[in-house]
Amino acid sequence: MNSSPTGGRLSTLAAAYVIARRDFVAILFSRSFLFFLLGPLFPILVAGLAGGIGQQVRQNIDRPQLGIAMTAADIAAMTRARDDLAARLGQAVPELVTVKALAPGEAFDPAAAMKGAHTNLAALLSGSPASPVLTGPADRITQWQGLVEMMAAQSASDSPRIYPSVQSATLATSRADQTQGRVLTAQLGQTVLFLLTMLLAGMVLSNLVEEKGNKIIEVLAAAIPMDAVFLGKLFAMLAVSWVGITVWGLAGGAVWFAAGHSLNDFPVPAVGWPTFLALGVIYFSLGYLLLGSLFLAIGSMASTVREVQTLSMPVTMLQLLNFFFASYAMSRPGSTVELAAAIVPFSSPFTMLAHAAQDARLWPQAAAIVWQLVCVALFVRMGAALFRKRVMKSGPARGGQRRGLIARALTRS
């Protein structure tokens, strides 16, 4: 690509900057961009409300209870034993609900009582502490049998049972916990990177098809090199994407920290949070440029939105396969599979971000970034060549004086 001005025209880099500035300002101050920024916030809000309401419903309704039908003295003894165990075991001990206080020798049918008005009754305890009977589904009996035996043993004792205090030696974390936590951080980083790339890279298609439809692309082609149009649009959409990510990140971070959370709630990646986030920025930019160059080349071959959707579908599916490939490689660190996923340009950003969460060495990251920069340069150049060939089918525009006037007008705008 020529970067020096010839024949009164802007250089490729200068013209690319003009196009990038024009597209960036036009998109940033459009009404549709405001709705684009607000769009992802609505699903997050709905998911948060649904999760909070669902948790409250589960707390209020889905709380299984253990019914008891014994004599009043046995019920009191079992209740004291249950409260003592609950103080030590917490929510593992079910709530004890009195179904009926029986008179000595009174007959009682547990199966019939289970069909009564107690809606949250999961099982029924009858008999006596010396010979308890647990009636209910097989899974509840398996879950609560040991607890019932402990309660019965505790209630049958004349003196309170003494539980020895356990001395503890606490470690900050174990090696297994650290490895598992870093895998979780790697998976989270890969998923966020993939979703952001696929969500934002598609914007270049609609922008290009719109300008092809209203002939703006022909005016630009008459003024500046098509390579500059390609580069300008690609980097303008990258800048717009970073504006969106910044807004979403600040809004989400404010809500997250206001709720009392912090990054310490997540397992710390091997390279540390500052380096991990910086690598996320780099890998998103490189992955976006790779995918965006393909989408721009595809957009140059389409004249309608339907054609764009048809042509972009294979690329989207292939990118999904690349994400799965990188996810599989993450589970095999140091293997040939991980090396292959790091070399393939479209899976490399996902693979190396996950690698940063699991391995503290930085030289593999530097090597991967250099390799991805080379791939970006090659794909951008090939995409620009295809873009120039498809958009300018009639050959290069003529009229040097007219091109110079339009170029100077674009520069002043």
SS3 of 335-398: CHHHHHHHHCCCCHHHHHHHHHHHCCCCHHHHHHHHHHHHHHHHHHHHHHHHHHHHHCCCCCCC
Weakest mean pLDDT among 59-73, 183-197, 213-227, 342-356 = 213-227
In this structure, what CATH number is given to the domain that contains residue 79? 3.40.190
CB atoms within 10 A of CB 351: 29
Co-location of 28 and 116 in the same domain: no
Average pLDDT over all residues of the chain: 78
Using the Cα atoms of residue 310, residue 25, residue 231 and residue 196 in order, give the sign of their dihedral.
Answer: negative
58 assigned to some structural domain = no
CB atoms within 10 A of CB 48: 12
pLDDT of 50 > 70? The answer is no
Pairing of strands 95-102, 121-128: unpaired
161 assigned to some structural domain = no
* Domain final position from 104, 125, 156: 156
Higher-pLDDT residue of 382 and 58 is: 382
47 assigned to some structural domain = no
Co-location of 262 and 349 in the same domain: yes
Co-location of 132 and 203 in the same domain: no
The pLDDT, as a whole number, for residue 102 is 86
Co-location of 88 and 29 in the same domain: no
* Domain final position from 122, 156, 190: 156
* Terminal C-alpha separation, the chain: 24
5 assigned to some structural domain = no
Residue-range definition of the domain harbouring residue 130: 64-156
pLDDT of 141 > 70? The answer is yes
Cα separation, 302 vs 57, whole angstroms = 50
Co-location of 84 and 23 in the same domain: no
59 assigned to some structural domain = no
- The number of domains in the chain is 2
Co-location of 25 and 71 in the same domain: no
pLDDT in tens, 401-411: 445 544 555 55
pLDDT of 49 > 50? The answer is yes
Cα separation, 117 vs 140, whole angstroms = 19
Reported pTM? 0.67
Co-location of 120 and 207 in the same domain: no
Co-location of 137 and 280 in the same domain: no
pLDDT in tens, 228-284: 888 888 898 899 999 989 988 888 777 777 777 777 777 888 898 899 999 999 999
Co-location of 301 and 394 in the same domain: yes
The pLDDT, as a whole number, for residue 215 is 66
Co-location of 96 and 238 in the same domain: no
Helix and strand numbers (H, E) in the chain are 16, 4
Continuous H helices in 137-225: 138-156, 175-201, 203-213, 216-223
